[in-house]
Structure 1
Amino acid sequence: MDDPEYRAGIIELLGALGLGELAAFQRLSADSELAPTLADQAALAGMAVVEFHHFERIRDRLAELDVSVDDAMAPFHDAYAAFHANTAPSTWLEGLVKAYVGDQIATDFYREISVAVDEDTRLLVTSVLEDSGQADFIVEHVRRAISDDPSVAGRLALWGRRLVGEALSQAQRVAADRDALATIIVSGAGGPGMDLAELSRVFTRLTENHARRMSTLGLSA
């Protein structure tokens, strides 16, 4: 990692991803307290532990690059804080939908970016983005809730639309506001990277993936 501009971009990528993993741990821990059964509480707590281990792997990689995790994550704090302030769930079901829909947009975004980085970084990024068991758990519980009370579907569908708008805005802000990260996306790791047309297609794919997830939950996109 001799190119200082590329190194800066990797640090920004890991900083953004690390903050996302830490936030996921914190939120799943909080959501576990709202779960209706002890079994559900234990399941969410276990998922939170997995997210924290993902954060630790990113923190350790940053340490190998002689960068503190605080310094790497700090530039993204305001964007994350704004997203979570604007999408604070009012019920346990809204929290589940946020974890499945909102977080997965960010996950898709970072997976898309990972094609433009070196192999070691790509392997780290893709491994920490692996599903910790959340998807099946959330789909089962949301679909069951809709089956028990179909009236919740409309409210959760509106909530999902709000989440996608906020999450896409955050992803676009991250891509546009951080120069070093933007350089990686456009230039790639010594390769062609993405042109503006491909970057536009990335956001189209994020929207399409969101629609599929909403359908899986039994909600209209």
Structure 2
Amino acid sequence: MEFAQGLSTDVPWESVLARIITWHHEIPLRTGPCDERDAVDICVAALEALRLDNLQYNLGVGGYEVRRRGDSLRIRQRWNPALEAADMFLEDAATPSELPKITPIEERWVRNRPGTSRDLPPTHVLHAATRRAKTAVDAYRHALPEGNLPDSFKLDEGLTVGDAAAVLSALMGFALLCESAAHMRKRTETTLATIRKFRLLEMIADLLPNVRPIQSTPSSNGSPLLLGDLAVCHH
């Protein structure tokens, strides 16, 4: 829809989608299909709400000072811009200078993929995407100014940093492949791919034969490595 309507904003569309999903759960008015005009109106409303959300959050943490002058409101920044500048420098220092681009295997699959297809990519394509994501994950880890933990460092339930990086790479590779398809085919619905838990576990097992799942209790911290009652990863 974004490509077809020629819409362009300074807000990531993922943030707009997240706002719509939040509305749907907090204010469940109705469900069912909607036409394109209604979808555009909903997205515009979510975009406007996001700008207010940003203002509301910063007011809550003391980032702005609001004063009323007659019939108008005056908003003034209160935070120290030096901290923002320092954060920008730190972010730049922690961002790798070179990240891998889409591989020929992935690009070939995207270009030859039928527009109406809902099938998962074949294993060799997912392997290429996982390797690309692993290179990116390692690059980000080694770019951290404070250094990074070794792969052998144990986290919990037998999970190591190396295990976590491997599973994260598989998940990121799948997501990056969907994102690449959206940009190359000009169809953003590919970024909304869903996959059932058991199929996701099967996919990770195929991509990472040296990593096996271990039984674990559900985590309260929302870790992406915990899928229901399974914690993925243990050599």
Give TM-score scaled by structure 2 length. Answer: 0.29
Task: Report which of the two has the higher share of strand.
Answer: 2
Structure with the larger RCO, 1 or 2 (CA within 8 Å, 6+ apart): 1
**TM-score scaled to structure 1, two decimals?**
0.30
